[in-house]
Structure 1
Amino acid sequence: MASTMIRTSASLRTLNLTRVFCTTACARAPTMWSITKNQASVTFTWLFGKLGRFSVMRRPSKPPHDFVVPVGNPILRGQALAVDNRNIKSKETQEVLDQLVKVMRKKGAVGLSAPQVGVGLQIIAVECTRKQLDLVPQEIRKIREMQEFPLKIFINPKLKVTDYSTVVFPEGCESLPGYQANVPRYYGVTITGLDREGKPVAWQVTGWPARILQHEVEHLRGDLYIDIMDSRTFIDSSWERKNF
């Protein structure tokens, strides 16, 4: 789950190729830097071939991915499978857990599900740090009952509503980056499941953490917040900063 108030823009990297070759005065005084047009063509072809392979290598083709799967990928609309208790400590499952946490923290998210990194298993991770909270105005933190909590992993989670009171606040998702809408959620829930060691865990919460848990568990059913949002409030959260 994306925090609607916690976002940082990714830095843009540009590659300057304007000084790769020097051909000034080559006709008068050939030097070791002199190249022919054919040589330049071959060299550029080789260089961009290398860059192309590098860009592909940065995003592995097999899950768990090092990026968040966007809306449109069928895995986000599928039913995640339960993890066999005997496989929780396996190398493959532990790699999924590590990657899930890594991507969540890289994106600055407060929650993420395994399907969002391309793995159709019932696993979620949630975390809200003091640094993330400090980016949110105090009045908003108070109204939404936002609070800091340590990293928690739930395998095969089960969610039970403890308070059916409905609260509506803006909500975003890393699979729909840059957008948000008002979403109704139950005020209180209890979640049970297994941790990364296969031990039973439970957590009873209200307010902000309860919203995050409901959001992430929905991902395991193939549901998204846009299915229950107030469609009239759906916006590009950065529209005010854009130049048209």
Structure 2
Amino acid sequence: MASQSDRAPLAEQVEELLAADGPLTVVAAGDPVLRRGTEPFDGQLDDMLLARFVAALRITMHAAPGVGLAAPQVGVPLRIAVVEDPAPVSEEVRVARGRVPQPFRVLVNPSYEPVGTGRAAFFEGCLSVPGWQAVVARHAEVRLTGQDEYGRAVDEVFSGWPARIVQHETDHLDGTLYLDRAELRSLSSNQAMAQWWTQPTPQQAAASLGFELPR
């Protein structure tokens, strides 16, 4: 359990963040908060403050825009993340990537473990690494456990793109960026992505840039 002295600074930090209207500031790679890991949530924010913080995370995620946002990405080292994906993609992309709509949800103290040995590799970006994307091979299916914002247990299996999202956001809570798992020869600016790599899968990028995809 966090001590009272631990709780107060985090609550004060969140109150200060929420004092400004509009989306929160997303911190960029190089900020130590993205690498320190997070402390488990066990009541450091009271119910009302937690609800306000979750709402601010959602607003910030939408404004970015993104499909997930973790608390350390706004400078708060708590094990909390939000995800939501309307999946506005073509049928070809949906089939290739397994990208289907995901409702808004809050992940509190999440962790994941692979289900099976399948791997899937696709270009991935991050709000804390703006302007760049790289191919990341991730578990094709994972079991996510944790709680929601009301303390209810979460135990769910995700596959396809939703599995990628929950892995990416949970990694943030462990101080891991997607670049730590990426095939660095694939690293591409957003401009290069638009010019060269708009295909549903990264096979052409792998052949052209000289990297291997998982079999």
TM-score by length of 1: 0.67
Matched, 1:71 2:24: no
Query: How many Å apart are 1:231 and its aligned residue?
Result: 0.6
Corresponding residue number in structure 2 for 1:11: none
Q: For this pair of structures, how many residues does the alignment match?
A: 178
Question: What secondary structure does 1:230 align onto?
Answer: strand
Query: How many Å apart are 1:93 and its aligned residue?
Result: 2.4
Residue pair 1:89, 1:198 contacting (<8 A) in 2 also: no
Change (3 A) 1:119 1:240: closer
Matched, 1:203 2:156: yes
Question: Which consecutive residues of structure 1, in runs of 5 or more, have no partner in the other structure?
Answer: 1-59
Query: How many Å apart are 1:164 and its aligned residue?
Result: 2.2
Corresponding residue number in structure 2 for 1:80: 38
Distance 2:154 2:194 in 1: 43
Matched, 1:120 2:74: no
Corresponding residue number in structure 2 for 1:186: 139
Distance 1:72 1:148 in 2: 32
Change (3 A) 1:151 1:241: closer
Residue pair 1:123, 1:156 contacting (<8 A) in 2 also: yes
Deviations 1:85-140 (A, max 9, x none): x44643332232121111111112111101011110001111111xxx23x33212
Distance 2:72 2:29 in 1: 11
Corresponding residue number in structure 2 for 1:98: 55
Question: What secondary structure does 1:168 align onto?
Answer: strand
Which residue identity does 1:178 align to in structure 2? G
Question: What secondary structure does 1:167 align onto?
Answer: strand
Which residue identity does 1:79 align to in structure 2? G
Which residue identity does 1:97 align to in structure 2? V
Which residue identity does 2:47 align to in structure 1? S
Query: How many Å apart are 1:159 and its aligned residue?
Result: 1.1
Deviations 1:136-192 (A, max 9, x none): 332122100100011111111121211221111100000111210000100101112
Question: Which consecutive residues of structure 2, in runs of 5 or more, have no partner in the other structure?
Answer: 1-13, 196-215
> 1:111 is matched with which residue: 63, 68, 74?
68
The CA RMSD over aligned residues, in Å, is: 2.2
Corresponding residue number in structure 2 for 1:227: 180
Residue pair 1:144, 1:207 contacting (<8 A) in 2 also: yes
Residue pair 1:96, 1:114 contacting (<8 A) in 2 also: no
